[in-house]
Amino acid sequence: MSTAELHTLTGAYALHALPEEERLAFERHLGACEACTQEVRELSATAARLGLAVSAVPPPGLRERVLREIATVRQEAPPHSTSERSGVAPGRAGRWSSYALAACLAAAAAFGGVAVWQNQVAQDARQEALQARQQNEQLARVLAAPDARTSSGELEGGARGTVVVSRSANRAVFLASDMARPPGGKVYQLWFNDDGSMRSAGLMDPSATDDTVLLDGPVDGASGMGITVEPAGGSEEPTTQPVALMDFPDA
Amino acid sequence: MREAVHISRAPAPGPGLQELLVQVARGDQDAFTQVYDQVSGPVLGLVRSVLRDPAQSEEVAQEVLVEVWRTAPRYQPSRGSAMNWVLTLAHHRAVDRVRSAEAAAAREHRAALLDRTPDFDEVSEQVESRLEREQVRRCLRTLSELQRESVTLAYYRGLTYREVGELLSVPLGTIKTRMRDGLIRLRDCLGVSA
Ligand SMILES: [Zn+2]
């Protein structure tokens, strides 16, 4: 197979759709082709999203069986090499973070609502659950809107933000992963960027480093969003320099 | 009112999956329990979408999860997220199983494969998995029919590109290309690339 043909196999490889022999040939090519290596990383992460989308609820017995089994299974020794295999480009920091976002959503799904609510007074929990459900439905509508557009950006300290905007719903959702906690007594406040003037769009949960927030209020003419650190409870207008500014994706 | 929604709040902000997997690599069984809780649903769902048979799926899912424990020292965070690593492993195992089973008995229901769409509609109370599902489904709709079939028959059904080509009566070169450009479009729609 020619090299030009090999370059087109990234998709089939990421889907595990190559017969054994071609897979081995392509893996040899990967060792020498940085472009394909990079593309395979991204397409594998994309394929894994297809996997996350069919997540199931495991039967309770499985957990017990697996935990019992691992107690008797010896782990492999760590690989000796301290560096990446030659020819494979090391990943840039943060490259996978938008994927990690999906992972953390799945993680939250796995923890489930039960544990969250357990720690709360029943009455409050019902109130909050109701409110959260309504907001979640709105949030889901934004993400599922046919015109939903996504853009991602790196924030300070390796954190990553993704914003999803639906012009038809006139709402936006911000998803953060690996954000540093705000300093004590402070919160992250979100803002719509209306042509340089900032309009409050709500607060992020100060205890969460990964958070998904339905921005408070309509998108209207906003061209992007910003995040600032504000005193607990938030401010009327930004009182500090933004820690992040992101443009909304084009409609 | 400046009320924000927090849907992905874990009960207590604990370590992320990647960090947990690094702990697992050092033999930490408690960390593995937490890894299990995060990945077992996606692993089982993925295996089941490929294998269909519930009992066999559970068996393979168990093998995969034990393999996560056993081979955790191989995981290199610089090469990709922990969830990606785990799901890649799960997909490999499921595909290996379906191919070996089908090598023995020739594949009978080829045409039926086309009717079987993945279980996107499985009822889930969990908002986060519903969101993920809706986003993926929305993005799959942006693919051309041939792109979508090439990608989903390979990923959810474990077919090789040759089998997909035969099934759809499309030249193999075209299938390879559609798998690639279909995934690229999906990547861009989902915002996967940095
Ligand atoms: Zn190449």
Which of B93, B186, B192 is the mutation pick for testing A, counting most A CBs within 10 A? B192
Could you tell me if residue A128 is inside a domain? no
Q: Name the pTM for this structure.
A: 0.59
CA A43 / ligand 1 centre spacing (Å)? 14
- A77 CB neighbours in chain B (<8 A) are 73
Mean pLDDT of B123-142: 77
Judge whether A143 is closer than 8 Å to chain B, CB to CB: yes
Fold of the CATH domain B14-107: Rna Polymerase Sigma Factor; Chain: A (1.10.1740)
The ipTM value here is: 0.85
A151, A148, A109, B159 alpha-carbon torsion, rounded to 10°:
-90
Could you tell me if residue A132 is inside a domain? no
Helix, strand, or coil here: A191? strand
CATH among 2.40.10.10, 1.10.1040.10, 1.10.10.10, 3.30.70.360 for B109-194: 1.10.10.10
Judge whether A35 is closer than 8 Å to chain B, CB to CB: no
- Given B132, B158, B192, which is nearest A53 (Cβ)? B132
Residue A10 reports pLDDT greater than 70:
yes
DSSP letters for A156-188 = GGG-EEEEEEETTTTEEEEEEESPPPPPTTEEE
Summarised one tens digit per residue, pLDDT across range A102-111 is 443 333 333 3
Residue B50 reports pLDDT greater than 90:
yes
Closest chain B residue to A39 measured between Cα atoms? B184
Q: Which of A83, A102, A121 is the last residue of a domain?
A: A121
Looking at the fold, whether A116 and A153 belong to one and the same domain comes out as no
Judge whether A127 is closer than 8 Å to chain B, CB to CB: no
Number of other CB atoms surrounding residue A160 within 10 Å: 24
Residue range(s) defining the domain that contains residue A58: 3-121
Summarised one tens digit per residue, pLDDT across range A43-90 is 999 999 999 999 999 998 999 999 999 999 999 887 654 433 333 333
Looking at the fold, whether A177 and A229 belong to one and the same domain comes out as yes
Near ion ligand 1, which residues have CB within 5 Å? A 7, 33, 36
Specify the domain boundaries for CATH 1.10.1740.10 within chain B: 14-107
Contact flag B6-A140 (C-beta cutoff 8 Å): no
**In the structure encoding, which two tokens stand for residue B125, read together?**
């109370």
Report the Cα B66 to chain-centroid distance in Å. Answer: 17
Contact flag A55-B187 (C-beta cutoff 8 Å): no
- Given A48, A76, A140, which is nearest B130 (Cβ)? A140
- Given A49, A58, A91, which is nearest B41 (Cβ)? A58
Note whether A185 and A231 are within 8 A (CB): yes
